């Protein structure tokens, strides 16, 4: 049982860009703008030109329903769009089309690895809205002489996933974000690596006090840092006898601190009212068909991996915590010993990738298979295999090339055997010590064998042969 | 005034270019101020092209005037507001695409009340339009320029938009025919929104037949407007000179206090005429009519306050000196919007505010439902309803402009139709002195055929529409 000494309550509002859809949420503009010039993926609708009208992208609604189902939510009978009225230069219509009453889905949960084991975080609602444009400043926001606006992002489909205030530490918040991102990637509606794909607003209170809302968090790590800072700040306020006020704070990512925004922000009255240009959508009928084709989600895959491949739950958990990794593993496991694949993909490759901050795409699946084949056929040593993986990541090439270049092919057993005989003859003192019961003396004999074979012998094999010969 | 058929014959005999040039000349020589922009060059060019290549569209070579709140690619579109000064849309409204496909030639953009907010065309940044029957009087509004252009012979056809009577009111004041279709029959794509849930684009012409022909061209489903219905326009065949057995409902609430006696008499005479032609009439009760005006203005202003938020000078239109963004926005909007627009934005913003939404906007939506039910009940017995379009004939320029409430009251006969979303056509049915009087024939949802047939039969058997200037 986690005691939560500071009475931390954290709720997250996550804006997820449905960036794998082909078109924007209310117009036909394409979404693959990330490498294109500003304002090149725009039309009268997403520029909010006078007289233009929105039309709902059905695929976006389907994706939103998918998420709702994956988050164990209830899908509404009817869903309705609303206008949220406020002025901002990135908002070309002077209002944002979003949802208010009748969101797509509500009342679900996500299970995370909590402070005290499995922990359930409630999902209040998940609703659709449109992304505004993007403001671009020369240098920093406060020093720039002008602001440029790129409307390529304007009208991208967003899903706002609002959690209950169920997280009790910044670590739990980070795990929630990891899990949410993972689920979204399993649903194949979202690429978390694209700029602006996932944006977080965090609400946090301690000791039952007022909550602060922290805006402008753009990474999972940022969320954890912002919340850690905020806990310290709120504790300091209380310790000095002050009161934490309800306010909106801005996360300064570079300095890793939160700063109070103008209190004007709080006074907003968004004047929500139903969007007259979009008729209410009856979606209750859509859910069963979407549920039927819902892909396997991380928790289910984890169980299946344990069952189907006989690997440990720890391996299964690590392998399924990222969709691309799970696919990589499964492709390898189907062709070789799945347990061996788990060790090499999860323990070795994942560690090496993390160390280099590289995605799984940086390593060729066929190369992984080659390395495992070489091991299974006892052509290389385990140390040699690690060496190949590291070399491939750092310098490229193929496993065969690395083996040849570095001379990693394991020497044959009879060569080891000859070397062992020579080593016994040349190190009589060590032999005597070993026979006298000094087990460690064997290590110097193994060392001698390795020296004679220029390190290409497998240390374990050398040891076995030595023991055999020493009788 | 020349009909589409007459013009088509002349185009075949002479040329479209000649016809277009004639209309352009009449516009140039006119004092009505019906147009904000005259697209002389592109119109003549288009006419020459049609003359050279031929065109088999139903409106081939025929000029048309377009209300300045409908987006026209390459032609300035201002909504008669300073804030849209210089805005040249990069795209055509759905109706403009359809008109171009039908061979129609856009000769210009017509004057209107700023952002369609008014019933007199006096709130235009470009000055008032005059009534062709009496130049000291208003042409009605908000589509005053479009009605005046047809009445003054400056265009044989025109398009307006009707949010609370903005096609029917000027049709009535100018002695022409104007149709407000069922909500959803004509795509609003490209119509600059004033109050989205209420408005429809509507055709003007000097006869019911020409209105029907134009309506056929512009009606039809458009996937770019989610409120557009899946129906194609084919209404001209409904034009039969026959009202035998037609059941006319007379909503007594529309003949109550404040209705000019000449107007009431003309409309009742018109009903008698139709009865002589074989129709029957009955009284119907529309008990919620008295709440319509308040509900209408709350809904329209609320939607407007949001619709007009996009005009901030950032991307198009008026731009003042740049400061920080909120100061710039405020300056542009303070300078760019006229008083009536500001009044409606303020009232609409208030009605949608936290704590007032239930009291005003949501209550207005409930009244809207009740008014819809009034119509549904009335149409159980009646095929069409007939009522005055406006309570009185055209009033003097300046007479009501400083008294917004009295100006809002002028819409009492027209706004319930928009709240219910049903179709209504206004056509000339008499005179008060030298000023035309209009009556409206109101139909069931999507039953434009019945009101067109009623209007056509009346027109065929009377001469009011011919007594033009």
Residues of B in contact with A278 (CB under 8 A): 226
**Angstrom distances, CA of residue A383 to CA of A338, A346, A456, A458, A461:** 20, 16, 10, 9, 13
For A144-186, the pLDDT digits (tens) are: 778 899 999 999 999 999 999 999 999 999 999 999 999 999 9
B302:A273 CB<8 A: yes
Distance CA B25, CA B36 (A): 15
B77:A147 CB<8 A: no
Q: Please tell me the distance in Å from B392's CA to the nearest CA on chain A.
A: 32
Q: Name the residue in chain A with its Cα closest to that of B93.
A: A51
Q: Using 50, 70 and 90 to split pLDDT, how confident is the model at A10?
A: very high
State the sign of the Cα–Cα–Cα–Cα dihedral A52, B421, B372, B346: positive
Q: Which of A39, A45, A51, A144 to mutate to test the interface with B (most CBs of B within 10 A)?
A: A51
For A245-259, the pLDDT digits (tens) are: 998 899 988 888 999
Residue B67 is among the residues annotated as catalytic for this protein:
yes
Ranges for all domains in chain A classified under CATH 1.10.10.410 = 413-470
Q: Please tell me the distance in Å from A44's CA to the nearest CA on chain B.
A: 8
Residues of B in contact with A53 (CB under 8 A): 188-189, 224-226
A50:B70 CB<8 A: no
A465 vs B262, residue with greater confidence: B262
For A306-327, the pLDDT digits (tens) are: 999 999 999 999 999 999 999 9
B225:A279 CB<8 A: no
**Angstrom distances, CA of residue A70 to CA of A65, A186, A293, A327, B357:** 9, 10, 11, 19, 35
Q: Please tell me the distance in Å from A277's CA to the nearest CA on chain B.
A: 7
Q: Please tell me the distance in Å from A48's CA to the nearest CA on chain B.
A: 7
Helical ranges in A396-470 per DSSP H: 399-406, 413-426, 428-435, 441-452, 459-470
Distance CA B118, CA B132 (A): 19
CA A45 to chain centre: 33
Kindly tell me if the per-residue pLDDT of B469 is higher than 50: no
Kindly tell me if the per-residue pLDDT of A469 is higher than 60: yes
pLDDT of residue A235: 95
Fold type of domain A413-470:
Arc Repressor Mutant, subunit A (1.10.10)
We report the CATH number of the domain holding residue B68 as: 3.90.1300.10
Residues of A in contact with B190 (CB under 8 A): 51-52
Helical ranges in A272-312 per DSSP H: 286-292, 298-309
Q: Residue B21: helix, strand or coil by DSSP?
A: helix
Nearest to A322 by CA among A294, A301, A352: A301
pLDDT of residue A415: 79
Of B69, B224, B310, the CB nearest to A94: B310
Q: For all residues of chain B together, what is the average pLDDT?
A: 96
> Looking at the complex, does the CB of residue A280 fall below 8 Å from at least one CB of chain B?
no
Residues of A in contact with B361 (CB under 8 A): 273
Across A184-199, average pLDDT: 91
At A72, list the tokens: 């164990």
pLDDT of residue A144: 76
For chain B, the domain total comes to 1
Kindly tell me if the per-residue pLDDT of A129 is higher than 60: yes
Across B209-218, average pLDDT: 98
CA B357 to chain centre: 29
Residue B78 contacts residue A44 (beta carbons within 8 Å):
no
B353:A279 CB<8 A: no
**Angstrom distances, CA of residue A395 to CA of A238, A349, A374, A379:** 54, 15, 20, 22
> Looking at the complex, does the CB of residue A87 fall below 8 Å from at least one CB of chain B?
yes
Q: Please tell me the distance in Å from B353's CA to the nearest CA on chain A.
A: 5
Kindly tell me if the per-residue pLDDT of A276 is higher than 80: yes
For A374-388, the pLDDT digits (tens) are: 888 888 888 889 999
**Rg value, chain B, Cα:** 21
Give the active site residue among B16, B119, B158, B166.
B166
At B357, list the tokens: 């939404």
A95:B306 CB<8 A: yes
H-helix or E-strand spanning residue B170: helix B168-174
What percent of chain A is modeled with pLDDT above 70?
A: 97
pLDDT of residue A325: 93
Residue B353 is among the residues annotated as catalytic for this protein:
no
B189:A92 CB<8 A: no
Nearest to B249 by CA among B130, B376, B338: B376
For B234-260, the pLDDT digits (tens) are: 999 999 999 999 999 999 999 988 899
pLDDT of residue A253: 85
Residue B380 is among the residues annotated as catalytic for this protein:
no
Distance CA B458, CA B447 (A): 17
Q: Using 50, 70 and 90 to split pLDDT, how confident is the model at B159?
A: very high
Residue B440 contacts residue B458 (beta carbons within 8 Å):
no
Distance CA A286, CA A371 (A): 47
H-helix or E-strand spanning residue A331: helix A323-333
Range of the domain at B360: 1-469
For A388-446, the pLDDT digits (tens) are: 999 999 998 999 888 888 877 776 677 788 888 888 888 888 888 888 888 888 888 88
Residue B420 contacts residue B209 (beta carbons within 8 Å):
no
H-helix or E-strand spanning residue B99: helix B94-101
**Angstrom distances, CA of residue A456 to CA of A397, A468, B19:** 21, 20, 98
- Phi and psi, residue B432, nearest 5°: -120, 100
Give the range among A133-147, A197-211, A429-443 with minimum mean pLDDT: A133-147
How high is the ipTM of this complex?
0.95
pLDDT of residue A266: 53
User: What does the DSSP assignment read for B103-117?
Assistant: T-EEEEEE--SGGG-
Nearest to A381 by CA among A357, A362, A408, A363: A408
Q: How many Cβ atoms sit within 10 Å of the Cβ of residue B355? A: 7
Kindly tell me if the per-residue pLDDT of A141 is higher than 80: no
Q: Name the residue in chain A with its Cα closest to that of B316.
A: A49
Give the active site residue among B16, B39, B67, B98.
B67
Helices then strands, counting H and E runs in chain A, come out as 16, 16
Residues of B in contact with A149 (CB under 8 A): 314
Kindly tell me if the per-residue pLDDT of B33 is higher than 70: yes
Q: Name the residue in chain B with its Cα closest to that of A28.
A: B224
Across B50-56, average pLDDT: 94
Give the active site residue among B16, B71, B142, B193.
B142
Give the range among A2-16, A223-237, A261-275 with minimum mean pLDDT: A261-275
Q: Please tell me the distance in Å from A51's CA to the nearest CA on chain B.
A: 4
Q: Are strands A247-252 and A212-217 parallel, antiparallel or unpaired?
A: parallel
**Rg value, chain A, Cα:** 29
Residue B190 contacts residue B429 (beta carbons within 8 Å):
no
**Angstrom distances, CA of residue B268 to CA of A97, B284, B302, B390, B430:** 48, 14, 36, 14, 11
**Terminal C-alpha separation, chain A:** 55
Q: Which of B306, B324, B329, B369 to mutate to test the interface with A (most CBs of A within 10 A)?
A: B306
At B341, list the tokens: 């627009």
B84:A50 CB<8 A: yes
B70:A51 CB<8 A: yes
């Amino acid at each position: 049982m986690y005691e939560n000494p500071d009475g931390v309550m954290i709720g997250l509002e996550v804006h997820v860009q449905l960036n794998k859809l082909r078109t924007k949420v209310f117009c036909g503009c394409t979404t693959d703008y990330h490498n294109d010039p500003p304002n090149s993926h725009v039309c009268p609708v997403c520029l909010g030109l006078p007289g233009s009208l929105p039309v709902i992208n059905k695929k976006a609604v389907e994706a939103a329903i998918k998420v709702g189902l994956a988050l164990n939510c209830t899908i509404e009978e009817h869903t309705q769009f609303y206008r949220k009225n406020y002025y901002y230069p990135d908002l070309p219509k002077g209002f944002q089309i979003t949802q208010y009453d009748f969101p797509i889905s509500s009342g679900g949960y996500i299970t995370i690895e909590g402070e005290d084991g499995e922990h359930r975080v409630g999902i209040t609602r998940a609703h659709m809205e449109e992304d505004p444009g993007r403001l671009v400043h020369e240098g920093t926001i406060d020093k720039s002489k002008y602001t440029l606006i790129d409307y390529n992002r304007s009208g991208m489909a967003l899903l706002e996933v609002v959690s209950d205030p169920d997280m009790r530490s910044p670590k739990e918040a980070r795990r929630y974000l990891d899990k949410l991102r993972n689920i979204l990637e399993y649903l194949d509606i979202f690429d978390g690596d694209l700029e602006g794909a996932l944006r977080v607003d965090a609400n946090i209170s301690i000791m039952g006090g007022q909550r602060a809302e922290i805006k402008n968090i753009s990474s999972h790590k940022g969320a954890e840092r912002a919340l850690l800072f905020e806990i310290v700040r709120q504790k300091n306020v209380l310790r000095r006898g002050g009161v934490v006020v309800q306010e909106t704070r801005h996360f300064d990512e570079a300095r890793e601190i939160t700063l109070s925004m103008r209190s004007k922000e709080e006074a907003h009255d968004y004047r929500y009212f139903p969007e007259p240009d979009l008729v209410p959508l009856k979606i209750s009928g859509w859910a069963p068909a979407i549920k039927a084709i819902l892909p396997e989600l991380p928790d289910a895959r984890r169980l299946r991996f344990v069952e189907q491949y006989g690997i440990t739950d720890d391996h299964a958990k690590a392998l399924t915590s990222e969709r691309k990794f799970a696919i990589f593993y499964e492709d390898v496991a189907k062709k070789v010993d799945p347990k061996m694949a788990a060790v090499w993909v999860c323990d070795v490759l994942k560690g090496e990738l993390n160390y280099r901050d590289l995605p799984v795409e940086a390593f060729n699946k066929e190369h992984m298979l080659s390395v495992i084949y070489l091991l299974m056929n006892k052509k290389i040593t385990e140390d040699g295999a690690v060496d190949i993986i590291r070399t491939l990541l750092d310098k490229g090439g193929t496993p065969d090339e690395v083996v040849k270049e570095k001379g990693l092919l394991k020497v044959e057993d009879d060569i080891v055997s000859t070397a062992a005989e020579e080593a016994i003859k040349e190190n009589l003192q060590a032999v005597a010590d070993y026979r006298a019961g000094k087990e460690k003396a064997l290590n110097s004999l193994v060392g001698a064998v390795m020296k004679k074979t220029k390190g290409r012998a497998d240390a374990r094999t050398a040891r076995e042969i030595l023991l055999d010969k020493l009788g | 005034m020349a009909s589409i058929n007459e013009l088509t014959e002349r185009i075949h005999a002479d040329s479209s270019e000649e016809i277009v040039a004639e209309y352009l000349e009449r516009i140039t020589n006119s004092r009505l101020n019906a147009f904000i922009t005259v697209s002389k060059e592109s119109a003549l060019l288009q006419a020459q092209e049609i003359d050279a290549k031929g065109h088999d569209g139903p409106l081939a070579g025929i000029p048309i005037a377009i209300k300045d709140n409908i987006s026209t690619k390459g032609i300035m579109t201002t909504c008669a507001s300073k804030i849209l000064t210089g805005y040249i849309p990069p795209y055509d409204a759905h109706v403009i695409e359809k008109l171009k496909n039908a061979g129609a030639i856009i000769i210009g953009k017509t004057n209107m009340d700023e952002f369609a907010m008014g019933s007199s065309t006096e709130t235009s940044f470009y000055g008032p339009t005059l009534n062709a029957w009496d130049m000291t009087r208003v042409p009605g509004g908000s589509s005053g320029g479009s009605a005046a252009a047809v009445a003054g012979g400056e265009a044989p056809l025109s398009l307006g938009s009707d949010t609370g009577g903005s096609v029917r009111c000027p049709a009535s004041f100018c002695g022409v025919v104007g149709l407000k279709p069922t909500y959803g029959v004509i795509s609003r794509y490209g119509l600059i929104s004033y109050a989205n849930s209420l408005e429809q684009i509507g055709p003007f012409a000097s006869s019911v037949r020409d209105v029907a022909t134009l309506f056929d061209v512009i009606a039809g489903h458009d996937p770019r407007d989610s409120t557009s219905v899946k129906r194609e326009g084919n209404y001209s065949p409904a034009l039969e000179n026959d009202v035998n057995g037609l059941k006319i409902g007379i909503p007594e609430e529309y003949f109550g206090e404040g209705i000019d006696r000449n107007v009431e008499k003309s409309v009742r005479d018109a009903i008698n005429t139709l009865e002589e032609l074989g129709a029957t009439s009955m009284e119907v009760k529309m008990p919620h009519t008295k709440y319509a005006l308040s509900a209408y203005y709350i809904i329209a202003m609320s939607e407007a306050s949001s619709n007009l938020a996009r005009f901030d000078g950032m991307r198009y239109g008026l731009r003042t000196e740049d400061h920080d963004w909120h100061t710039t926005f405020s300056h542009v909007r303070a300078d760019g919007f006229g008083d009536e627009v500001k009044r409606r934005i303020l009232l609409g913003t208030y009605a949608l505010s936290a704590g007032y939404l239930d009291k005003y906007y949501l209550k207005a939506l409930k009244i809207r439902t009740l008014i819809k039910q009034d119509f549904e009940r009335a149409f159980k017995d009646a095929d069409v309803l007939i009522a005055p379009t406006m309570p009185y004939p055209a009033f003097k320029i300046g007479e009501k402009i400083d008294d917004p409430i009295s100006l809002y009251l002028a819409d009492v006969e027209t706004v319930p139709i928009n709240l219910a979303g049903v179709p209504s056509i206004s056509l000339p049915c008499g005179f008060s002195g030298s000023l035309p009087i209009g009556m409206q024939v109101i139909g069931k949802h999507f039953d434009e055929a019945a009101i067109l047939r009623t209007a056509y039969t009346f027109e065929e058997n009377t001469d009011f529409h011919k007594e033009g200037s």
